[in-house]
Chains A and B, each alone.
Chain A
Amino acid sequence: MNIQKIIKSAFIVILIAAACPAPIFAFAERSWAFQAGMIPAMGGGMSSYEQSARIGVDNGIYGINRSEKGKSTKNIDQPVGFTGGGEFKLVLFNYYMARVGANYSRSIYGGTGKSLDPAGNIMKVEYSLWYYDIPLMAGISIPFWKDVRITLSGGLAYASGTYSNSFKSDAVNSKAAFSGWALPRVISLSGEYFINYDIAATTAISYYEGSTKVIKNRADYAVLDFTGYRFTFGVSYYMDADKSDRKKQQ
């Protein structure tokens, strides 16, 4: 059984757990959460073979910007992404946590502009990407009084998506899309502030690290890089809150 199947199986098991009646989970609290936020720098370097061979840029978006006096270039910024999704959590024995989620992320700002091709012509540049991921994590979750829970967790995610680029000038015309999957490592620090006994406002900082194998598209080669930070705000709902009176946790 490969790791993709293991993650998908775990996803199904946890969804079944979510549907089970509460008495089966005497040792656990179940929670659903929904969150949305930003990825300040998405996609890593986004380098590709064509950028290196035809434009002379080995480090992708980090080196794509060129400017010269008298030529109207426009800076190409690292894409900023939107991310949103949901997750199911099990808080086990009050201090341990297992969770599975599903998130969708896409670039919404940056990644486009005008640079110069090797001949000095104005070159229109576009980078964009989207992906979804299914993180599977476990960690420590510490309650502080009845109204706060702070969690540190880590694990793996199944991530899949597409990175597209386009370079157009009088001398260069290159366009490619690279689709693939990977299993990035994930670490997450999150906090929950209980607004009442079963609903909490949440924030989380997550770091994903990992990229696909080299993907071929027409004559071009590149990887899809999932590496980067995500900052999210959200809401979580504790299904079994009535059986675990938070006041007893003080």
Chain B
Amino acid sequence: MKHKFLSALILAIILPRTLHSGEYIGLGIHAGFHNDVGNMGQQGNSVIYAGQFNGILGVSAKIDRDPLFIRTGADRSMVLMDGEVKDNSSGELKKTRISYTSIPLYAGINFRIRERGKFYMGMGPVYLLGNGSVHTIDEKVQIRDKIYCLGFITGVQLRVDNYIQVYAEWEYISARSAPKINTDPGQTWKDYSIDYSGHRLHLGFSYFIL
């Protein structure tokens, strides 16, 4: 059984190479970043803070049927630099360590750039799973979020050979959680929401299996 599976896998990889790649289905891997995760500046104009900076590792699957495409995948966004409030300008909030996984499903239009590659733009729903922690003066609160939201993507893919292309993408997602912590010591309610909105940049390469 194990051998059959391995044989099928090898055939699946090798067989398409015997045909000319139609650039129909590309599987990609990319790295990127998301600056100012949490958008702490939206807490108020007077908040003095160092924005959180996340690195992104992701995989993508893009199905092209020119001029249309569908792109999905999964991105894991991990903390590289904590978000930090430098004074008491945001109440009890002191530090953020927000991570998340986003699973988008974009549809849009490809624009062929002669024989060198494609420029593409699309939009669609995103399923976002947030985790990590938010720190107040007194406590550390673990985050667990599941959010359906909207995003859009625009990118360029350039041909390296018949099967491999490099791609660069700009993605924007708009998403905000329910309140997670209390930042007002005079109250008992939670009033600080995690804002996952913002820009992401990706750079990677894809392998066209068909």
Interface membership of A65, Cβ < 8 A? yes
**Complex: A74 Cα to B195 Cα, angstroms:** 17
**Complex: A246 Cα to B65 Cα, angstroms:** 22
CB pair B114 A66 closer than 8 Å: no
Interface membership of B152, Cβ < 8 A? yes
CB pair B190 A63 closer than 8 Å: no
The interface on chain A, measured as residues whose beta carbon lies within 8 A of the other chain's beta carbons, has a size of: 36
B108 touches which of A58, A63, A203 (Cβ 8 Å): A203
Interface membership of B136, Cβ < 8 A? no
CB pair A67 B123 closer than 8 Å: no
Residue of A nearest to B191 (CB): A66
1/0 per position for A37-60, CB-CB distance to B under 8 A?
110110001000000000000110
**Complex: A229 Cα to B119 Cα, angstroms:** 19
Interface membership of A197, Cβ < 8 A? no
Interface membership of B72, Cβ < 8 A? no
CB pair B43 A203 closer than 8 Å: no
**Could you say which residues of chain A place their CB within 8 Å of the CB of B189?**
66-68, 116, 120
Which A residues form the contact surface with B (CB < 8 A)? 37-38, 40-41, 45, 58-59, 62-63, 65-68, 75, 77-78, 80, 116, 120, 144-145, 147-148, 150, 189, 191-193, 201-205, 229, 231, 233
Q: Beyond the given A38-B123, A40-B152, A40-B172, could you list 9 further A-B residue pairs with CB under 8 A, ordered by the A residue number?
A: A38-B150, A62-B42, A66-B190, A75-B177, A75-B193, A191-B109, A201-B109, A202-B109, A231-B121
Instruction: Show 10 residue pairs from A and B whose CB-CB distance is below 8 angstroms, ordered by the A residue.
Output: A40-B174, A62-B193, A63-B43, A66-B190, A67-B178, A75-B178, A116-B189, A147-B112, A148-B111, A229-B172
